[in-house]
Structure 1
Amino acid sequence: MRAVTKTLRHVAIGLTGAAVLVVGMVAPAAAEGRIRIAEQFGIGYLPLHVIRYQKLIEKHGKAQGVDIQVEWAQLSGGAAMNDALLSDSIDVGAGGVGPLLTIWDRTKGNANVMGIATLNAMPLFLTTTNPNVKTVKDFTEKDKIALPAVKVSVQARTLQMAAEQAFGEGKFDALDRFTVSLPHPDGTTALLSGSSITGHFSAPPFQYQQLQDPKVRKVLSSYDVLGGASTFNSVWSKKAFRDSNPKTFAAFVGALREAMDVINKDHKQAATIYLATNKADMDIATIVKMLADPDIQFTVAPKNTSKYAEFMHKVGALKNKPASWKDYFFEDVHGEQGS
């Protein structure tokens, strides 16, 4: 527990400081040979950590005869990513499916922000310390469920989908009154400390750290709700950046695909990079075991993102209803078996 708390405190401080740094930054839009990328902490962003650690964008840029200057920043949450992207403080943002769909919908026909590729498919766990909670129907006014952002995060959307499945059509907001916004590190600390937080919908590695405590149980997985493997994180950018910087954009896509190969071929090397990049106080064997979980996949192909889009449109969170996942992802990944 002490090691977990130390790790969470480090991550929380890193995220908060980075968010202030990037949001307050005023900078001109990038030109060919320069790219500004915002990443987050957590296993879900491992492909970006590998790209940064191994300087893969620079490598792929040189192969095209371009010296690329890569600038990295760290932000907390999809909303902050989108604000930074729209203010031209960054060129590439990263986050959950919900924020990607939100900014695609918001900028359609204007800035035209679209997904570049996905970073992974990962199960998100809803956990609890309340022994009386066996399903989502068992949460009561005595419970508080921590989410990274109420109503808008991918965890919030997944919880709404689970609520509608449990309580019936149109009852998607049945659990909203029990939810509170907390960053994953704070939510995990609160859950484990026995505070008023009795539930947490988080992500790797936090959910696995929680389940090491015998009083924590898994209520459901996002894979249960979506009916199979589903994308957690993606990367996105403005169409104008892609059009104006074709070689730089291609170098980023090439670097991303190479990073996926590094992770999938050598879990130990990937775990070493994760620990070095995040300076996390975690055992490498724990990370390797996590990466070996068949439910965790590192792939550029979208999985079940259309189900989020359909749900968000149905509940009024999206004005535009995409015909398929290819409507909100650039054609660079249209050859993949996506959904």
Structure 2
Amino acid sequence: MKSTFSRIKLVLATLFVSQLALSAQAEVTSLRVARQYGIGYLQIMVMEHERLVEKHARAQGLGEVTVSWNTYADGAVANDGIISGNLDFVAGGLGSFVILWDRTRDSLGVKGVAALDSMPMLLNTRNPSVKSIKDLTDQDRIAIAGVKISSQAVTLQLASAQAFGDANWSKFDHLTVNMAHPTALQALLSSRSEITAHFASPPFQYDELKHAGVRTVLNSYDVWGGPQTFILAWTTSKFRDQNPKLYAAFLAALVEATDFINNNKSTAAAIYLEMTGENSTSVEGLARMLADPQLRFTLTPENVLKFASFRAGTGVVKTKPDSWKDLFFRDIHYLPGS
């Protein structure tokens, strides 16, 4: 694996020409970044905690840059912020991203900066009658953060198409309930809640499985045929063109945060628990979770093209990309994505 320094040099070299072209234009001095909940956003949290964007902005000659970090329960809200100009970078799932990429191709030109990680998403249930999704009935309610749109929602749709035929891809949409992951965890574990299942994400899915009667009936890696990008970061072509040095600083910070996590899992776990205030696990326990080989912090997009192609096949998006590179800015095209 290339060192952090080597990869940062590649990033800066790629952006050098655009920086020269726009060198006379003043760049913004504040940056607005959005994320959601869970360890899929750990790089963003490390970037905030260690002030990495500010560090790399100074290295780019931008002086002091103010960064605001925002947390949302729903990716749609963050996308509204990108469209309205109230956010500059969003970290989120493939579901929200692919829709925005498709809808802004002739306007804002939203594209991916890089992947953040590949992680399995688990559909957990407390209903003893449900052994697979084929056992779901109208009596079940599935908590999902971002119904019909999120990565979990789309994974359930593909699993439905695989189990019941392509025409039935939306078979279970009416069973889904929009709910942020922390709230969904509590609802699943409550006998008084209507929620009988939760299509979750780390660490919430693993916390659920610690409780008697909760088990997994679907793993996203099985549905997509292998590891898939869980979280990625995106911005607009306009922002990248007008702020090439700040864009480079963000990407360099993301590279450094990724290396930081991969080389310092215990410290990264401590940062996560400090910033979230979660007390369901210890630093040691979370560090062990981060060491799971299925949880990979990587800038390389994985199975993104398959995801976007499925969305195009259902008619949710109009454009079917020819390559994963159509979805991302050229700065990471050297990576072995898919």
Q: Which residue, out of 270, 275, 278, partners 1:277?
A: 275
Q: Structure 1 residue 153: deviation in Å?
A: 1.2
Is the Cα contact below 8 Å between 1:135 and 1:220 reproduced in 2? yes
Q: What does residue 56 of structure 2 align with? A: 60
**Alpha-carbon distance in 2 for matches of 1:33, 1:338:** 32
**Alpha-carbon distance in 2 for matches of 1:71, 1:181:** 26
Is the Cα contact below 8 Å between 1:104 and 1:328 reproduced in 2? yes
Could you list the per-position Cα deviations for residues 103-130 of structure 1 after superposition, in whole angstroms to 9, with x for gaps in the alignment? 0001011111111111110000001111
Amino acid at match of 1:61: A
Unaligned residue ranges in structure 1 (runs of 5+): 1-29
Unaligned residue ranges in structure 2 (runs of 5+): 1-25
**After the TM superposition, which residues 232-311 of structure 1 pair with which residues of structure 2 at under 5 Å, given as runs?**
232-281=230-279, 282-311=281-310
Could you list the per-position Cα deviations for residues 120-170 of structure 1 after superposition, in whole angstroms to 9, with x for gaps in the alignment? 100000011111111110111121111112211111100000011111122
Is the Cα contact below 8 Å between 2:37 and 2:181 reproduced in 1? no
Q: What does residue 82 of structure 2 align with? A: 85
**Alpha-carbon distance in 1 for matches of 2:330, 2:155:** 27
TM-score when scaled to structure 2? 0.89
Amino acid at match of 2:241: D
Q: Structure 1 residue 33: deviation in Å?
A: 3.5
Is the Cα contact below 8 Å between 1:43 and 1:205 reproduced in 2? yes
Amino acid at match of 1:45: Y
The number of residues matched between the two structures is: 310
Structure 1, 133-142 or 65-74: larger mean CA deviation:
65-74
Structure 1, 77-86 or 55-64: larger mean CA deviation:
55-64
For the pair 1:167 / 2:164, whether they are aligned, the reply is yes
Could you list the per-position Cα deviations for residues 165-185 of structure 1 after superposition, in whole angstroms to 9, with x for gaps in the alignment? 111122111112222111112
Show structure 1 runs of 4+ deviating over 4 A: none
Q: Which residue, out of 78, 97, 100, partners 1:100?
A: 97
Q: Structure 1 residue 93: deviation in Å?
A: 0.9
Q: What does residue 36 of structure 1 align with? A: 32
Tell me the SS of whatever aligns to 1:232: strand
Could you list the per-position Cα deviations for residues 230-279 of structure 1 after superposition, in whole angstroms to 9, with x for gaps in the alignment? 01111110101001111110011000000000000111011011111212
TM-score when scaled to structure 1? 0.89
Amino acid at match of 2:297: F
**Alpha-carbon distance in 2 for matches of 1:179, 1:266:** 37
Is the Cα contact below 8 Å between 1:34 and 1:248 reproduced in 2? no
Is the Cα contact below 8 Å between 1:129 and 1:215 reproduced in 2? yes
Structure 1, 312-321 or 56-65: larger mean CA deviation:
56-65
Q: Structure 1 residue 191: deviation in Å?
A: 0.8
